[in-house]
Structure 1
Amino acid sequence: MLVLSSLCAFTACADSAHASEQSDAPQTVYRAASQNASKGSEAFFTGDVRVERLFPANATAHYSGAYVTFQPGARSAWHLHPAGQHMIVTDGVALTGTRDGRIVRLNVGDSLWCPPGVEHWHGATPDAPMTHLVITGVRDGRNVVWKEHVTDEQYRGHQ
């Protein structure tokens, strides 16, 4: 009985301490149905790409998030992120290449950090679609700087 009453007293203290650490700041919920989903622009992508925005950057969180789905053979143009980007593969196999000609394959659950300023591209393999979650930093109001399209030869360098 003494152990039970001690446990109850500890739990009550822990709950009380936890409640006092909670912030009074409001939380912002971004409902999936309310976010913009769009076809990837032909100016920035080769092939069929869909971008599902999850949340925008704001005054205190200097990053945004999105799911990007690439159909077989689809890929981004060369680009860089002024504040970097995290990428987590959620479906399929991703390819990502850098200007030095290296192409890396990422499987479901693999994640990648692309540091600020590294020119790269990413996309699906030629035979299967791929989806990844990206969390992209924003610097000076920009999260991406687009470059030219990846050529078929550059893309096929993964073979």
Structure 2
Amino acid sequence: MAKHEDVKDGVIFPVGEKNDAYAQYFVGQSYLKTLIADPQVSVSVGNVTFEPGCRNNWHIHRDGFQLLLVTGGEGWYQEAGKPAQSLKAGDVIVTHDGVKHWHGATKDSWFEHIAITAGKPEWLEPVDDETYNKLDQ
């Protein structure tokens, strides 16, 4: 059994459906539950859940930002040119406009965060297996 498998049961917010709309930008399976998608509000809020080993591609938020509120499991966050940061429930990440980064689960744990996002993402290359597998788990 994977670590933090209870995350898939929606400990705080519902896990949502398979994230098929963005599947091309992820390695592995993720799930998305949209919490706020109000056109009169300039941010979107979603609960993103990652199966063990799942991570999103490198990406940049243009004309905006992204805030990650980690609610469960264990994961990674990395900005280009910097070492990866280990994440666990209670951690908060602020990604400023134009910063290339990625985030996702560790190899052996489910991972969940609330993503508060403004602007438009520019999706880039996947985080390759060689880079990901070098991270201390």
* TM-score under structure 2 length normalisation: 0.80
Corresponding residue of 2:59: 79
Task: Give matches, 1:105-144, under 5 Å.
Answer: 105-138=86-119, 142=120, 144=121
Deviation at 1:101, TM superposition (A): 4.4
Percent identity among equivalent residues? Answer: 31
Q: Give the partner amino acid of 2:49.
A: T
Residue among 37, 61, 66 paired with 1:56:
37
Gaps of 5+ in 1: 1-31
Give the structure with the higher percent strand: 2
Which residue of structure 2 aligns with residue 70 of structure 1?
Answer: 50
- Preserved CA contact (<8 Å) 1:80 1:119: yes
Describe the SS at the equivalent of 2:130: helix
Instruction: Report the count of equivalent residues.
Output: 121
Letter in 1 for 2:33: E
Moved over 2 A (4+): 36-42
Q: Quick one: distance in 2 between partners of 1:95 and 1:154?
A: 12
**Is the contact between residue 78 and residue 121 of structure 1 (CA under 8 Å) also seen in structure 2?**
yes
Q: Whose radius of gyration is greater, 1 or 2?
A: 1
Contact 2:66 2:115 in 1 (8 A): yes
Render the CA deviation track for 1:120-150: whole Å, top value 9, x for unaligned.
1100000010000010012xxx2x1100111
The residue aligned with 1:23 is none
What does residue 3 of structure 2 align with? Answer: none
- Structure 1 CA distance, aligned partners of 2:112 and 2:127? 19
**DSSP-derived class of the 1:92 partner:** strand
Q: Separation in 2 of the partners of 1:137 and 1:42?
A: 20
Deviations 1:2-60 (A, max 9, x none): xxxxxxxxxxxxxxxxxxxxxxxxxxxxxx89xx744243310000111111111523x
Structure 1 length as normaliser, TM-score?
A: 0.70
Structure 2 unmatched runs, 5+: 1-12
Tell me the residue number matched to 1:22: none
Q: Which residue of 2 aligns with 1:91?
A: 72
Q: 2:55 and 2:126 mapped to 1: Cα distance?
A: 9
